Amino acid sequence: MGVVRLIPRLDVKPPNVIKGVHLEGLRKLGEPNAFARRYYEDGADEILYMDVVASLYGRNSLLDIVERTARDVFIPIAVGGGIRSVDDVRDVLKAGGDKVAINTAAVHRPELISEVARTIGAQSMILSIEAKRVGSNQWEAYTDNGRERTGLDVVEWAKRSVELGAGEILLTSVDREGTRSGFDVQLVRAVADVVSVPVIASGGMGGPDHLVEVARDGHADAVAMADILHYGRMALPAIRESIGRAGISVRNPMVA
């Protein structure tokens, strides 16, 4: 297990950061750039922006927000939601984003993964998977914030995406998202053990012990967290210190 990245996840319904449970019942929390700046100052490894209403408008609505964030935040910024073409990807990069996370468009046209990887590099092409458990060791991939079924087995879809050029997997458990009950460690490990690229675990972090568990037992390379940070239940420096005591290697922002 290498250095585990700590990634604040900001789900955005412009102009606000929002938070829900199971990706539903969204509550407005405030201005995205203020959250991003605070997390950057607290030593986040990356920032993840997800446009949760992109499906309604057929496009990503975060470009202005990303552009403002990039002026003050000097860590990688990943952007997801409503990205359907290489031109959309270029728009994100032009605004200051460093990576893109694609879900729906990749499900509908898997070759887009290869096109994006060739254009900006595999390391910047993140496949976003919204997973719901459908059996004791089986999960189905969903789109549209966990509302639309795809019929795709999560593990098989993850393997195929990497073959097509995805350089990272953002794996969100819809069942655990916003519940503070811990990550679906079985899900994360099932994917992490069959792909050769980093897996970002998302959905369910209630405390540092959950992060330790998903890194140690789920083999996650990174953790996306929202609720614990947005509601001020624990700040990044305290999380970093706690998991460091448990033996999880994380970047020291003081020497980065």
Rg of the Cα trace of the chain?
Answer: 16
pLDDT at 21: 75
For the chain, give the percent of residues with pLDDT over 70.
95
- The pLDDT of residue 58 is 67
Best mean pLDDT range from 8-17, 118-127, 140-149: 118-127
Q: What is the pLDDT of residue 33?
A: 96
Tokens of 8: 């604040």
Q: pLDDT-based confidence at 61, cuts 50/70/90?
A: confident
Residues making up the chain, counted from first to last: 256
25 has a pLDDT exceeding 60:
no
Q: Which of 11, 45, 140, 177 is catalytic?
A: 11
For 119-138, what is each residue's pLDDT tens digit?
999 999 999 999 999 999 99
pLDDT over 70 at 239, yes or no: yes
Q: What is the pLDDT of residue 144?
A: 87
Tokens of residue 239, six digits: 């999380």
Residue 208 to residue 204: CA distance in whole angstroms: 11
What pLDDT score does 24 carry? 60
The yes-or-no answer on residue 130 being catalytic is yes
- Secondary structure class of 247 (helix, strand, coil): coil
What pLDDT score does 145 carry? 81
Is omega for the bond preceding 15 within 30 degrees of 0, making it cis? yes
pTM: 0.95
Domain boundaries, the chain: 5-244
Confirm if 4 and 250 have CB atoms less than 8 A apart: yes
What's the confidence (pLDDT) of residue 179?
92
pLDDT at 135: 92
* Architecture field, domain 5-244: Alpha-Beta Barrel (3.20)
Answer with the residue of higher pLDDT: 161 or 27. 161
pLDDT grade, residue 22 (50/70/90)? low
Q: Which of 88, 130, 184, 227 is catalytic?
A: 130
